[in-house]
Amino acid sequence: TLDLSVLFKFRPDVTHEHKQTFVAELKKLKSLPCVKDGRLIVGGPSVTDPIERSKGFEIALVSYHEGREALAEYQTSDEHHRVTSTYMFPYKEDLMRFDFEVDQEDEHMCSFPVLNSA
């Protein structure tokens, strides 16, 4: 399993409403088949204390992918391009990305039970 972690920092003039739309659009990406079991989490704002440790980053995304090919498929998908080119790149101040392969011994921690919505 590959873990993709991204932190987003927007310019000061970007509205709260725009950031909410960005988060909603990011969450739609969990339906892509290259996202392992739909495991894509978006969160923010930071609750880090003291807040200065967040270095101004406001939104985080964590997603899981079967391997490098699946991650590449995610990043080159039309849906990902639409979200980032429409809601992020024109408005970003900074972005930090960190991808890593989960150790085999920790793989069990990347599994989540599927909950019925009944």
Characterize 102-112 residue by residue with b for buried, 16 or more Cβ atoms within 10 angstroms of its Cβ, and e for exposed. eeeeeeeeeee
Look up tokens 């408005």; give the residue: 91
Residue 99 lies in a domain: no
Question: Is 96:7 a contact under the CB 8 Å cutoff?
Answer: yes
The pTM (predicted TM-score) of the whole model is 0.88
Report pLDDT for 104: 81
Residue 110 lies in a domain: no
- What's 16's domain CATH number? 3.30.70.100
Domain count, the chain: 1
Report pLDDT for 105: 79
Residue 27: give the domain boundaries. 2-49+56-93
Q: How many percent of the chain have pLDDT more than 70?
A: 93
Residue 115 lies in a domain: no
* Mean pLDDT estimate for the chain: 92
User: Given a cut of 80, is residue 4 above it in pLDDT?
Assistant: yes
Residue 88 lies in a domain: yes
